[in-house]
Each structure stands twice: as structure tokens, then as C-alpha cells.
């Protein structure tokens, strides 16, 4: 009886490992780096910044180095108490504007308020929002604008190459690419207008100016901490097309510095993603069976604790899981260490989500950049 249960569990692991393997293979085949095309339309690169003295100089200079398309760069200084504003002023480029962000009104999150304020001052046909730790490659703005023109998409996004300099970052950040590539059916997303298929990366989002104004842009999601989810859904609900591209060659971002910061960062918007009573048990089943259990079952088999009928599907499940992670790692230019660390990274991701869900008032408190926001979501 026990052997039958273990064998059934191993085959269940194989099935749940197969799903993201197939989706990742399809998505990696269709997601391409957009070609750079010379354009005449102005692209406004908008950078919200709050206490970003360590990042802002390199970010602004990389944005100003954009080629093949005219750009203006606007930095919204959101009440920084460090040298952020002085560093921006020292750049001294006529295409660069430093604007103070007004005091945060009730009912807004800081990033959305800063982005909405900058959008109202921008002159470009396209608005390219980037985080203050994102370094654009020279052709990024032109490539994203060209993709929008070719596809008719009002919103184009992609995940920059993620710099992960510590083991703690490798245990957290790489899940962004794995979840996107392994569980979002990109061909279906492009074919259907369902808002639930909308996805973006808040680090790098280009939007059509007219569509942004028509939908309300960041003002329409003012309470959200997850613009990468809410903006594409907002656009698609209004009848606009959104698209994703392979962006690892377009920009680089070091999202967090160490494990503690990554844990806090991913916790702040978990309640708007996986950490809901309905969604998280499903994600736990899919990720736990397909990515965490296979190495444990294989280890048990090597110790003689698993019947041969279960060991074979367990080995196949582990192979699929690590092969999927390897393909994603190569595509997004992640460190090789993300492959052996993958089962642990999945476990950490689920731990963050369950911590937020079960300890909602404490662990799920949305605190970031010195501001706290009320946690909502179901």
C-alpha cells in the first residue's frame, strides 16, 4: 500500500514538473529581444527616486545614453533625505529634468504617486517607467518603442537581467523569471484579451501616452504595490493590447542587496499576488510537487526508502525541474548557481508567501522606503 502511494506521488511530481517545462519551452521560443529601429517619436524615461544616492547616477547616465530614438529623462525626487537630488543636478544634461514629487496624498502608494506626477509632465509619445536601480542598454528605449509600433501594443514590458550578487539574492530573485516563463502562456496572452493573462515587470514598462491617459495609468491603481500585475490588467480591461519581450539584453537591475532585503521586498506586495487564501494552496501544490518534492524523493530512493516503481518517475521529475531552471537561467543570463539552488529557492518563495498570508498583520505589513501602507487583498 505504501509503495503504491509513493509511486502515485512520484508520478504526480512528474506531471506537475512537466507543466512549467512545456510552458517554459514554448515561451522561450516565442519571447524574443525586440529589434532596435530608429524612431522619430520622443520617449520619456521616467525614474521615481526616493533615497537612491547609490544608484541614481548610473541609472540616469545609462538612460541618457539611449540611442536610435530621442529621449527625455525625468527623475521624480520623492522627498529623498540623502544626496539623490544633488547627484541628479550634477549630471548637467539638457534632456534631463529633476522634479520634486508633491507630498503623498492619502490613498496612494509612493511609487504610483511619483509615476503619475512625472507622467503629467512628460512630453513623449511613449512613457518608459524604470526603477532607480535599472540600467538601460543603449538600444532599450528604441527597441521597446519599436515593439509597441510593430505589435500595436499599448504596453510593452520585460524582465531586465537580474544581478544577484549574494546567495540570499539567488534564493529569492530568480523566481521572478521562473514563474513568468513557467506559468504564463505567452502565446495565449498575445491571442486573448483576458485581463487575467496580463503580466509585466514593474522595473521596466513602456506605455503609450494616450492609452495611459485614457486608462488613468498609475492613478487608477493608486493603492497598489504591484504595478507589474495591475497595469497590464488595467490596460487589457480597457481594450488595449499588452505584450512581453525578452529583456535580459535590454536592461540590468540589482533588485535587492542580500536576503533580508529581498525577503522584505517580496513580502510587501505578496498579498496582491500569490498570498491569498484561494491562490496560495494551488501554487503550493504545483510548486511543491513539481519542484521541491522530486529531489527529496530521489534522495529517499538513493537511501533505499523508495520503491523502484517510484524512483524512475521521481528522477524524471527532478530532471525536468532542473532542465527547466537551466533553460531559464541561460535565457535570462542568471548565475549558474541558480540551478542547484532551485528547489531551495522555490521553498523560500513559498515560505515568503505563507508567512505573509498566515501572519498578515505583521509579516504582510506593506512597509517600504520608510513608508507603511495598509494591507488589502483577499
Strands (E), 232-277: 242-244, 251-253
90: its cell numbers: 550634477
- Residue 102: closest CA among 84, 116, 88: 116
> Which pLDDT tens digit goes with each residue over 220-263?
999 998 899 999 999 999 999 999 999 999 999 999 999 999 99
Overall pTM > 0.85? yes
Residues of the chain with pLDDT under 70: 1, 360-378
Query: Would you state the pLDDT for residue 299?
Result: 96
**pLDDT of the residue at 372:** 62
Specify the pLDDT at position 101: 97
Burial grade of 61 (CB within 10 A; 0-12, 13-18, 19 or more): middle
Contact 52, 86 (CB under 8 A): no
C-alpha distances out from residue 257 to 3, 142, 181, 289, 374, Å: 45, 30, 24, 30, 25
Q: In whole angstroms, how far apart are CA 95 and each of 43, 59, 85, 279, 352?
A: 11, 14, 16, 45, 41
Q: Are 33 and 190 in contact (CB under 8 A)?
A: no
Amino acid at each position: 500500500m505504501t509503495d503504491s502511494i509513493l509511486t502515485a506521488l512520484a508520478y504526480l511530481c512528474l506531471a506537475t514538473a512537466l507543466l512549467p517545462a512545456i510552458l517554459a519551452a514554448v515561451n522561450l521560443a516565442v519571447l524574443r529581444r525586440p529589434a532596435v529601429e530608429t524612431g522619430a517619436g520622443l520617449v520619456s524615461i521616467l525614474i521615481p527616486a526616493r533615497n537612491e544616492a547609490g544608484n541614481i547616477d548610473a541609472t540616469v547616465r545609462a538612460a541618457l545614453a539611449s540611442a536610435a530614438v530621442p529621449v527625455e529623462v525625468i527623475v521624480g525626487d520623492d522627498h529623498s533625505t540623502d544626496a539623490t537630488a544633488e547627484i541628479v543636478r550634477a549630471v548637467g544634461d539638457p534632456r534631463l529634468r529633476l522634479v520634486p514629487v508633491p507630498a503623498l496624498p492619502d490613498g496612494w502608494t509612493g511609487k504610483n504617486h511619483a509615476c503619475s506626477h512625472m507622467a503629467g509632465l512628460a512630453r513623449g509619445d511613449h512613457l518608459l517607467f524604470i526603477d532607480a536601480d535599472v540600467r538601460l542598454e543603449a538600444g532599450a528605449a528604441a527597441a521597446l518603442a519599436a515593439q509597441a509600433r510593430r505589435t500595436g501594443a499599448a504596453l510593452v514590458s520585460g524582465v531586465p537581467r537580474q544581478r544577484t550578487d549574494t546567495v540570499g539574492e539567488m534564493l529569492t530573485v530568480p523566481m521572478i523569471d521562473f514563474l513568468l516563463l513557467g506559468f504564463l502562456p505567452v502565446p495565449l496572452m498575445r491571442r486573448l484579451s483576458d485581463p487575467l493573462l496580463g503580466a509585466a515587470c514593474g522595473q521596466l514598462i513602456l506605455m503609450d501616452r494616450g492609452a495611459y491617459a485614457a486608462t488613468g495609468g498609475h492613478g487608477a491603481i493608486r493603492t497598489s504595490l504591484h504595478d507589474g500585475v495591475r497595469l497590464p490588467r488595467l490596460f487589457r480591461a480597457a481594450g488595449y493590447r499588452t505584450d512581453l519581450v525578452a529583456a535580459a539584453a535590454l536592461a540590468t537591475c540589482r533588485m535587492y542587496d542580500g536576503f533580508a532585503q529581498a525577503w522584505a521586498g517580496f513580502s510587501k506586495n505578496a498579498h496582491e499576488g500569490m498570498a491569498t487564501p484561494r491562490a496560495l494552496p494551488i501554487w503550493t501544490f504545483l510548486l511543491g510537487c513539481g519542484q521541491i518534492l522530486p529531489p527529496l524523493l530521489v534522495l529517499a530512493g538513493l537511501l533505499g526508502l523508495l520503491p523502484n516503481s517510484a524512483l524512475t518517475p521521481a528522477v524524471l521529475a527532478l530532471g525536468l525541474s532542473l532542465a527547466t531552471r537551466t533553460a531559464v537561467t541561460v535565457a535570462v543570463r542568471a548565475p549558474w548557481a541558480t540551478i542547484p539552488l532551485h528547489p531551495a529557492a522555490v521553498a523560500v518563495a513559498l515560505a515568503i508567501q505563507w508567512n505573509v498570508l498566515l501572519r498578515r498583520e505583521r509579516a504582510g505589513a506593506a512597509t517600504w522606503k520608510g513608508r507603511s501602507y495598509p494591507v488589502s487583498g483577499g
